[in-house]
C-alpha cells in the first residue's frame, strides 16, 4: 500500500505530460472556429474587380451553394491552391466567388489572366473591409455557403486535394452540387 | 575654396547620414505606431485600453496593440473608427469584434457551453488540492493519536537503544584515519 503510493507522483507527472502534449496539439491554427458557422453570411455591397461600375450584394449569392474564396496575389498559398480551384470550377457546378483581399487590382487581373479564372465574380476588397466583416485574418480562407446564404463550413488555409476529398466534396454533395469525375463517385458512396 | 571642400564634404555626409537615420526610424514608426488623432484624452485612453484588451486573430498570444500583423493594423483602425468616429461604447466595440472574430479575440472569455471547462477546471483543481492537503493532515494527526502507553514504552526503549548504538557508533568512528 505504501509502496504503491510512491508511484503517485510519477502518475501525476505522466498526467501533466499528457495534458501538455494534447494541449499543444490542440493549438493548431486551422482549428480556430469561425464565428460565422451556421450563421448568415454578412451583408455586403462590393465592387467587381476590374469592373468598378458594377457591384454585387449578398442577395446575388443566394439560390445556390457558393464557395467564397479569399485570395490575393501577395499570398503564395493562394497560388498553390489555385489549381485545385480551377479543377473545382471545371468539374462541379458550384458557384465560386473570389474576394480579392488587400490587393492591387492591376496585379490581381494580371494574375487571373496568367493562371486562369475559376470565379464567377471577383469582389474588389482592396482595403480589407469586407474581409473584416467576414472575420478573415489571413489568406487564403474559403467559406461554403448554402443556397440560403448561411455559412456551413470554413477553411483557413489552402484547398488542397486532401481537404477537397475529405471535407469539401462531401459537403458540396450534401448541398446538392453535382461533381464529375472519380472523386465524386468515391464520395457519393454512403 | 580648397579649405571649404572637405567641410562641404563632411556636411554632405552628415546630411546623408541624418536622412538615412530619419527614414529608418520612419519605417519603424509606420510599423509600430499608428498616427491616429484623438480629440480628447478620454477617447485616446479608451482606444488604448481596447487595443490592449483584444487578441490579434493572426498571432497566438499577442494583443492588438502589440502586434504588427496586417490584420492587427486593420483592426486597430476599426477600433479607432468605432471609438472616435462612430462614438461607440466600449461594450459595443467588444460585441462588434466578437461577432466577426469569435470569442478568440477576447482575452476574457465568456462562460458558455464551449468555454465552461476553462473556468471550471482551475477551480476544480484548487478544490482537489485543498482536499488532498486536508486528507494528508488528517492522516498525520491520526497517526499521532494511535500510540497507547505500551507502544510508547516500546518506542522509548527503541529510541534509547538507538541512542546507545549511536554512542557506540560515534565512539567507534572517532579515529577513522587509523582505518583508512
**Domain assignment present for B5:** no
**Domain assignment present for B110:** no
CA-based nearest residue to B50, from B15, B20, B84 = B84
- A88 half-sphere exposure, CB direction, 13 A CA radius: 28
Domain CATH number, residue B37: 1.10.8.640
Domain boundary among B57, B80, B105: B105
Q: Does the N-terminal peptide bond of residue B44 adopt cis geometry, omega within 30 degrees of 0?
A: no
Domain count, chain A: 1
**Shared domain check, B93 and B24:** yes
**Domain assignment present for B179:** no
Could you read off the pLDDT of A136-187 as tens digits, one per residue?
A: 988 899 999 999 999 999 998 999 999 999 999 999 999 999 998 644 444 4
Contact A135 B101 (CB under 8 A): yes
Helices (H), chain B: 4-32, 41-53, 70-80, 90-101, 116-146, 149-172, 176-179
pLDDT of residue A35: 83
pLDDT of residue A32: 64
User: Residue B101: which of A35, A102, A138 has the nearest Cβ?
Assistant: A35
The complex's ipTM?
A: 0.76
User: Residue A137: which of B58, B98, B103 has the nearest Cβ?
Assistant: B58
**Domain assignment present for B112:** no
**Shared domain check, B122 and B89:** no
**Domain assignment present for A53:** yes
Structural domain boundaries, residue A123: 35-188
Domain boundary among B105, B131, B152: B105
Asked if the model's pLDDT at residue B76 lies above 90, the reply is yes
CA-based nearest residue to B33, from B1, B5, B72 = B72
**Domain assignment present for A114:** yes
pLDDT of residue B27: 35
**Domain assignment present for B8:** no
The whole-angstrom separation of Cα A118 and Cα B89 is: 43
Q: Are A181 and A93 in contact (CB under 8 A)?
A: no
Residue where the block lists cell 491552391: A81
Contact B60 A33 (CB under 8 A): no
Where does the pLDDT of residue B13 fall: very low under 50, low under 70, confident under 90, or very high at 90 and above? low
Residue where the block lists cell 526503549: B157
Q: Which residue positions in chain A have pLDDT lower than 70?
A: 1, 26-33, 181-190
Could you read off the pLDDT of B36-75 as tens digits, one per residue?
A: 888 889 999 999 999 999 999 888 788 999 998 889 999 9
Q: What are phi and psi of A68, to 5 degrees?
A: -105, 115
**Domain assignment present for A102:** yes
Q: Are A156 and A184 in contact (CB under 8 A)?
A: no
pLDDT of residue B31: 42
**Domain assignment present for B153:** yes
Residue B54: beta bridge partners?
A: B106
Round the average pLDDT of chain B to a whole number and report it: 77
The whole-angstrom separation of Cα B140 and Cα B158 is: 21
Domain CATH number, residue A89: 3.40.30.10
Domain count, chain B: 2
Report the residue of chain A nearest B57, measured CA to CA.
A137
**Domain assignment present for B54:** yes
Residues from chain A that touch B58, judged by Cβ atoms under 8 A, are: 137-138
Least confident of A85-99, B87-101, B142-156: B142-156
**Shared domain check, B121 and B98:** no
Structural domain boundaries, residue B138: 117-165
Q: Are A121 and A96 in contact (CB under 8 A)?
A: no
**Domain assignment present for A19:** no
Domain boundary among B105, B139, B156: B105
Q: Are A70 and A140 in contact (CB under 8 A)?
A: yes
**Domain assignment present for B98:** yes
pLDDT of residue B145: 63
Q: Give a three-class secondary structure readout of B106-137.
A: ECCCCCCCCCHHHHHHHHHHHHHHHHHHHHHH
The grid coordinates of residue A2 equal 505504501
**Shared domain check, B99 and B64:** yes
Amino acid at each position: 500500500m505504501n509502496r504503491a503510493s510512491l508511484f503517485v507522483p510519477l502518475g501525476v507527472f505522466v498526467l501533466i505530460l499528457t495534458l501538455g502534449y494534447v494541449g499543444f496539439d490542440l493549438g493548431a491554427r486551422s482549428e480556430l472556429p469561425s464565428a460565422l458557422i451556421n450563421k448568415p453570411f454578412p451583408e455586403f455591397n462590393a465592387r467587381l474587380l476590374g469592373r468598378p461600375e458594377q457591384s454585387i450584394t449578398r442577395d446575388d449569392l443566394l439560390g445556390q451553394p457558393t464557395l467564397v474564396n479569399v485570395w490575393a496575389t501577395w499570398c503564395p498559398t493562394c497560388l498553390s491552391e489555385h489549381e485545385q480551384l480551377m479543377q473545382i470550377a471545371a468539374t462541379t457546378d458550384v458557384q465560386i466567388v473570389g474576394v480579392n483581399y488587400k490587393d492591387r487590382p492591376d496585379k490581381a487581373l494580371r494574375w487571373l489572366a496568367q493562371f486562369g479564372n475559376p470565379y464567377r465574380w471577383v469582389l474588389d476588397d482592396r482595403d480589407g473591409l469586407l474581409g473584416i466583416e467576414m472575420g478573415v485574418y489571413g489568406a487564403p480562407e474559403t467559406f461554403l455557403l448554402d443556397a440560403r446564404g448561411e455559412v456551413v463550413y470554413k477553411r483557413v488555409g489552402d484547398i488542397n486535394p486532401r481537404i477537397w476529398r475529405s471535407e469539401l466534396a462531401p459537403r458540396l454533395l450534401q448541398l446538392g452540387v453535382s461533381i464529375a469525375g472519380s472523386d465524386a463517385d468515391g464520395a457519393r458512396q454512403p | 575654396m580648397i579649405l571649404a571642400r572637405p567641410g562641404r564634404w563632411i556636411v554632405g555626409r552628415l546630411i546623408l547620414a541624418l536622412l538615412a537615420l530619419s527614414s529608418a526610424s520612419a519605417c519603424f514608426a509606420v510599423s509600430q505606431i499608428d498616427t491616429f488623432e484623438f480629440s480628447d484624452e478620454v477617447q485616446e485612453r479608451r482606444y488604448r485600453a481596447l487595443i490592449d484588451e483584444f487578441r490579434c486573430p493572426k498571432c497566438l498570444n499577442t494583443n492588438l496593440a502589440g502586434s504588427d500583423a496586417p490584420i492587427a493594423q486593420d483592426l486597430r483602425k476599426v477600433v479607432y473608427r468605432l471609438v472616435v468616429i462612430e462614438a461607440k461604447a466600449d461594450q459595443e466595440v467588444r460585441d462588434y469584434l466578437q461577432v466577426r472574430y469569435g470569442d478568440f479575440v477576447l482575452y476574457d472569455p465568456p462562460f458558455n457551453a464551449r468555454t465552461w471547462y476553462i473556468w471550471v477546471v482551475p477551480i476544480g483543481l484548487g478544490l482537489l488540492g485543498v482536499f488532498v492537503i486536508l486528507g494528508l493532515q488528517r492522516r498525520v494527526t491520526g497517526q499521532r493519536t494511535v500510540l497507547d502507553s505500551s507502544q510508547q514504552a516500546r518506542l522509548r526503549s527503541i529510541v534509547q537503544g538507538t541512542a546507545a548504538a549511536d554512542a557506540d557508533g560515534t565512539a567507534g568512528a572517532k579515529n577513522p584515519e587509523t582505518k583508512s
